[in-house]
Amino acid sequence: MSDTTLTIIPATPTIGAEVRGADLVNLNDAQFRQLSDALTAHQVIFLRDQPALSPTQQIALGRRFGPLHEHPAAPHLDGFPEVFVIHTTRESRIANGNGWHTDVSCDERPPLATLLQLHVLPESGGDTLFASTYAAYETLSKPLQELLCTLTATHASEHVYRGRYAERGVDDNGRVYPSSVHPVIRTHPDSGRRALYVNRAFTTKINELTNRESDALLEFLYAHIERPEFQVRFAWSKNALAIWDNRCTQHFALWDYWPSERKGHRVTVEGERPYFDPELDPNLDPVLGGTRAPARLRVSERL
C-alpha cells in the first residue's frame, strides 16, 4: 500500500468524490496529501470497504488534518472526548443531523472537517445529502453577491442544544452554549473560493438587517442552498467513512432507516475563525493551478 496512488472518482461535477485504494491506518504522507487535496477539490469524499477504525486510529487520522474539535453538547466516547458517538434507535427522540446544517457553526472557530464512520447500520444503510455552498454562492446574481459580502450573521446554539441529549445522559444544567458572529460569505483559506455561510440549524439573524428583512433573506438563501443541482447523495455501507469540509458544505442525514439502529463515531477537526477576503478574486481557484474556475461552477445563466 505504501507505493499506491489513490484513485479519485468524482461523484458529480459540482460536489463529492469516492476515494479508492486508501489504507486509512497506514497512509503515507504522499497519500494523505492526495486525500487532503481531494477533500479541497471535491468538498466531501467517501471511502468504502474500510476496517472499523478504533477510536485511537480515527483520532490519529483526524489529527493529520489539524487539532481536533470537541463538541460543546453531544455525548462522547468514554475516555475519548474527541469522539462524538452517533447513535439512533427506534426509541430515539431525534436523529443526529436530520436537517440541513453546517457542523457547530455557532463556535467562534467552527469545525474545518468532519470524519464519520458508521459501524452499525440497517441493510438500506441510510442516506446523507451534501450541498455545495460554493455553488450556492456562485449561482447568485452579482448584485446579491455584492450585498451578501457586506453582511454578517449570528450563529447561536442554545435553541439547538438545550436538552437535546438528555435521553443519552447529558446533564446540561448550568452549561452555556456558544454563539458567534460570522460573515455571510466566507473565503476558503485553501481554495480561495467564496462560500455562502448561513444554515437553518444555527443561523438566527443577519445582523445589519431588520428582523423581517433578515427572515425573508435567510429563507431565500436556505432554499437556494438546498437546490438539488448543488447536491450529492451518499448511501452508507458498513464501515464506510465520509469526510466533509464544513467551510463549503451543508449536509442532511436523512432518518430514512427508522426503526432500525444506526451507530458510529465522529471526529471533527478544528477550523479557523471564518473570514471574508474582499481582495481575493472569487473566480480564481489555486487548487486548479491559479486558473479560472471551470465554467461548470458559473452556471447562474441556466438556473
Among candidate residues 42, 69, 71, 103, the one labeled active-site is: 103
Q: Classify the C-alpha dihedral 67-254-252-207 as positive or negative.
A: negative
Residue 266 annotated to the active site: yes
Cis status, amide bond into 259, omega within 30 of 0: yes
Annotated active-site residue in 42, 69, 71, 101: 101
Considering the candidates 251, 262, 265, 285, report the single residue annotated as catalytic: 251
Strands annotated E in 240-281: 241-245, 249-253, 262-270
- The yes-or-no answer on residue 69 being catalytic is no
The sheet carrying 249-253 orders its strands as 231-235, 127-132, 249-253
Q: Is 251 a catalytic residue?
A: yes
Catalytic residue among 69, 194, 247, 266: 266
Rounded Cα distance between 238 and 118, Å, is 6
Annotation marks residue 103 as catalytic: yes
Give per-residue burial for 262-301: e unless 16+ CB within 10 Å, then b. Answer: bebbbbbbbbeebebbeeeebeebebeeeeebeeebeeee
Residue 237's nearest CA partner among 23, 47, 27, 35 is 47
Catalytic amino acids? 101, 103, 251, 266
